[in-house]
Amino acid sequence: MAVFAILLFASTWKLWTPQDVFPQIPFLASLITTPTWVDWSCLGLSATSLLVCLFAKEDKVLTAALMLFAISTTVLILLDQHRLQPWAYQIIVLAGVIATSTNSNAIHRIQILTISIYIFSGISKLDYQFVHTVGDQMLSTLVGFLGSTTENWPPPVKQATVLCLPIFEILIGIGLLIPKARHLAIVGAVAMHAALLLLLFQDVSGYGVLIWNLFFIFQIIMIFYRQPESNPKPSQRPPLTDSIGHLITLGVIAFPLTQVWGLCDHWPAWQVYAPRCSRAHIDSPVNDNEPWNNFSQWSNQTLAAPIYPQARFEFAVAVAVQQKFSKSQGLPIIISEASNRWSGARNSKRFAGDQITMQMDKYWLNTRARETWTKNTLNNRY
């Protein structure tokens, strides 16, 4: 876990610094004035704690390093919602579970968390948008590797085949739950991530998503397939501490269910590669080639990381852009809700003038950029 975490942080390093090339939106309004030395300090603590995890021999030292990593990385995420990448969320949770659980309970809880990721991720793709966009592209690319094409496939056949992709992911999760089907599910999981690596390697702006899929392959083998040691090093925890690991596991599994009430964002609900997420953008002219005209592309080019797929965050980015770029001031902001699972339709609302300020105040979480964005001048190269 520590090795892959180091690689993931390195591949997206600019995202974790107090950069000013892309708006940073804290989770809490009280954090917009946080000085940049806090970011650097927490980043240093996170990196140091991961290095300690690689070489620690004493259980107490390892536990302290894991907790330090979880706390310092959480602070970094609180300072910028964009940093809540799904891999960062997952590794923070794993660090917390390992630090608070006994050896046997830690492995079991990580297994349950991994299974929940596959099931929630698969369910999020049983969706009109996935079938007709991302899923269709994945299928066409996979068939292309076999020297064929889907251009002449009847639409019902193509759509049914695309739906097999998320169904296969759900079956992997269910198979990992059943001891007799576990070996087959392990093979299926490794094959799925290998296929994703092949697909994403063709068109990826950053290496983070590739490293994350590699991490899943190693994780599946380590926690589901590898035989336990004959004399494992004991890792004892007081009952109260071990119960914290149990609560962390239950909380992470239950959290995606709160999405119906607007409590859980798309990524913590494991909606990855799922295009139905809510979004927002500036209603700018079609021929406008400014970098902020496409938030997703802008994020990939400047931070080597995908944009946080949430209307609240993208709306806040749009507001921050209007504060800094005179060319964008006065343009309306469009907010699109998550698409209908069955029809793909979206409800969109247009905000301009005072309506933007009123909408900012309606969100539970902060929609204002850190002062580092408004004070510093954006370099011309961006």
Q: What is the pLDDT of residue 344?
A: 93
Q: What is the pLDDT of residue 203?
A: 67
**CA distance linking residue 26 with residue 175, whole number of Å:** 39
Specify the pTM: 0.94
Widest CA span in the chain: 68
Q: CA–CA distance from 30 to each of 15, 126, 153, 318 (Å)? A: 21, 38, 54, 20
Tally of CA atoms within 13 A in the half-sphere of 224 that contains its CB: 30
Q: Go through 364-382 and write b for each residue having 16 or more CB atoms within 10 A of its CB, e for each that does not.
A: eebbbbbebbeeeeeeeee
Q: What is the pLDDT of residue 379?
A: 43
Give the pair of three-digit tokens for residue 114: 């991994």
Q: Could you give the angle at which helices 86-100 and 59-78 cross, rounded to 10 degrees?
A: 150
Show pLDDT as tens, one digit a residue, over the chain (382 residues): 999 999 999 999 999 999 999 999 999 999 999 999 999 999 999 999 999 999 998 999 999 999 999 999 999 999 999 999 999 999 999 999 999 999 889 999 999 999 999 999 999 999 999 999 999 999 999 999 888 999 899 999 999 999 999 999 999 999 999 999 999 999 999 999 999 999 888 766 679 999 999 999 999 999 998 655 555 565 678 888 999 999 999 999 999 999 989 899 999 999 998 899 999 999 987 666 787 889 999 999 999 999 999 999 999 999 999 988 878 888 999 999 999 999 999 999 999 999 999 999 999 999 999 998 977 644 433 3
Residue boundaries of the structural domains of the chain: 2-261, 279-375
Q: What is the pLDDT of residue 381?
A: 35
Give the pair of three-digit tokens for residue 320: 């921050």
Q: What is the pLDDT of residue 109?
A: 96
